[in-house]
Amino acid sequence: MTDSHLNSSQARSSASGADDEIDLGRLFGLLLDHKWWIIGITTAFAIMGVAYALLATPVYRADALVQVEKKAGMSNPLEDVKSILGEQPSSDTEVGILRSRMVLGRAIDQQQLTLQVTPERLPVVGDFLVRHGVERPGFAEASVWANEQINVSHFQVASDFIGEPFELTVLGDERYRLSLEGRSLGEGRTGVDEAFLDGVVNLRIAELQAGEGATFTLQKSSRLAVINDLRARFSVSQQGQDSGLLNLSLSDTDPQRATRVLDAIGEVYLTQNIQRQAAEAEKSLAFLEQQAPQVREQLREAEDHLNQYRTERDSVDLSLETQSILERIVDLEKQLNELSFTEAEISRRFTTSHPTYQALLEKKRQLQNERDQLEERVKTLPETQQQVLRMSRDVQVNQEVYVQLLNKIQEMKIARASTVGNVRILDDAAVQPAPVEPKKPLIVVLATLLGGMLAVGLVLVRGLLRRGVESPEQIEDAGLPVYATVPLSDEQSKLVKRVKRRNDKQGQNISTGILAERAPADTAIEAIRGLRTSLHFAMLEAGNNLLAITGPSPGIGKSFVSINLAAVCAQAGQKVLVVDADMRKGHVHHAFGGRSEGGLSELLSGKAVLADVTRSGHIDGLDYISRGSAPPNPSELLMQERFSQFLADIRERYDLIVIDTPPILAVTDAAVIGKQCGTTLMVTRFQMNPMKELEIARRRLETTGVPVKGAILNAMERKAATSYGYGYYNYSYR
């Protein structure tokens, strides 16, 4: 690779890096230029955050602590009764039960949460005033203030009116009026059951403590909707893994209501837990009490049969061997009977394939086999001994079963009475004094950050979208020389007025004086003097002394440049004429304190002569011609021979003629005028006209055969965005 190629590559790389730095510097400069906007917007958002934090209704949180024990709360000495009560569910199951519609629904019914009573207060600040104890002022009418409330003991509506808001207005003297959708349903008194809409709505107000005119909204919501709302505000969490401790919390704008509702949820949960623990004992007790009469009847029949047989056989006694067999058989029957009770209970909990159930069946088969073997031995005894043994066995077995059944019944009664559940409430519901929402410091910080980011974003987006010309270098890079950079003048802004005509929606700024006359030492005038010098050499090559001043768009300062350029040239001893060729919206006459009538349009239409329209500009050697009355066809007037003759006449009388033309991108007048002018300059305004717009305006002029000699960058400001990007150099020297 050659040195020239290497240097060229490095130059391109350096230029690319410089462009990146310029862009970053410009963005940083934009932020500095609009720092007061950013500070203002950020402050406004911070104030709104503070206002919201102060006015927002605080939300309080009540919390309680519940313990779920792994075993029943009270130990039971009966092992079989413990097995009946079963194993304890896991904590996850208890969390689900706590959030179930069964528990929450019962709590809602206890606290009557399906009825919502909402006081109507002043918008925005009403709740804030009530929280700070502001009582009813004299001007208050329908709003509810501090220490005003009603107590609704009964409110019942038909299903069609569930969710409908009824308005209750206090009338004074313990009376009220009930309305629905603005229609009065009737009046009522406190302490009296009232019926409205033919009994569809029933209402009883127990207490009415509110001023006359106070309005409350009564609404009966569906039970399911209230359950869903309560579930959204209610949360359950575990403390650690398998600790059995559950944290209950409930959020509400009313701390007392939060405490009451959370206590109600805890009590309902505790009650259902006890009921659930006692359910198995209840079922077993019902089964045993159902079997007791049948066993007692079987025992009576067995005793009758034995006594009758002994009477018939004249009191037959059993031998020692037979007595031993009888005791063994009775013992086996007792064990089998106990297994039958156990099987009846575990069959409700396990299937026959469960290991526990299988072990019981195996034990039962072993006992039955042993009993069958004894039955075979009984068959070898004498007939009389066999009959007495069987009858005696039936009596003793039924007696054992009956005694065992009575014992089981007593045990079940003890188990039912001693059931306390495996849940206990360790901490009752309590509300912390500080609200959990809104988090005031966080809201203010977030609002401030949001305001700052929004302000920065708006400034950057606006700066990126409005990429107007910011330096002479940008114009020169497009191949158009810059004859002058005119800084923005504070003195000129004092001479500007906003004028709005009848058909002009936006209006326009007009100058009421000549800056070169009012403040000849202003930096803008010094820059225009520099333009005068540059223009002197540029016009040496021109075909005539006609100078056309144009621009891409309105409001960029063409008239300002035209008037003050003419003024400084006149002050230098030249004889100068300013012609306002913008016959639509020209306002050169305002700077000279004249009127628009009797100007160029009258001259071109043949209604006046040159001597009639030429006026003195209050500066030696300076004259001007106003635009005249607005004609319907300004372009056609400029294309007539009379306009060319007018230019030929004034060229002989003046050293310099400055023609202020309309914007080229708006109308074609500037192209028509520029064809007859030796020099045409393009005015562009700092950060207003993009380079694309300037190039299109230049191309439009050159297409019609009007070469643009150079450009004037007007209203240049010392801004951080341009200082970081391109630099801005302007000095005053006095």
| Concatenated DSSP letters of 386-404 | HHHHHHHHHHHHHHHHHHH
pTM, entire model:
0.60
C-alpha–C-alpha distance, residues 400 and 395, integer Å: 9
In the DSSP assignment, the letter for residue 540 is: G
CB 603 within 8 A of CB 610: yes
Q: For the chain, what percent of residues have pLDDT higher than 70? A: 83
**∠ CA 515-516-517, rounded to 5°:** 90
Residue 239, H or E segment: none
Question: Predicted confidence band at 8 (pLDDT cuts at 50, 70, 90)?
Answer: very low
Q: In this predicted model, what pLDDT tens digit does every residue of 118-150 receive, in sequence order? A: 999 888 888 888 888 888 887 777 788 888 889
* Helix, strand, coil percent content, the chain, rounded in steps of 5: 50, 20, 30
Report pLDDT digits (tens) over 165-178: 999 999 988 999 99
pLDDT tens digits along 634-653: 999 999 999 999 999 999 99
CA dist 701 and 694 (Å) reads 11
Residues 6+ apart with CB under 8 A from 29: 719, 720, 721, 722, 723, 724, 725
Residue 81: pLDDT over 60: no
Better-predicted residue by pLDDT, 286 or 671 = 671
The pLDDT tens digits for 434-462 are 899 888 899 999 999 999 999 999 988 88
| pLDDT, position 23 | 63
Rounded-to-integer distance, Cα 677 and Cα 658, Å: 10
- Domains detected in the chain: 24-56+438-465 (no CATH), 60-272 (no CATH), 278-424 (no CATH), 472-725 (3.40.50.300)
CA distances from 288 to 22, 300, 349, 401, 414 (A): 95, 18, 17, 11, 14
CB 58 within 8 A of CB 435: yes
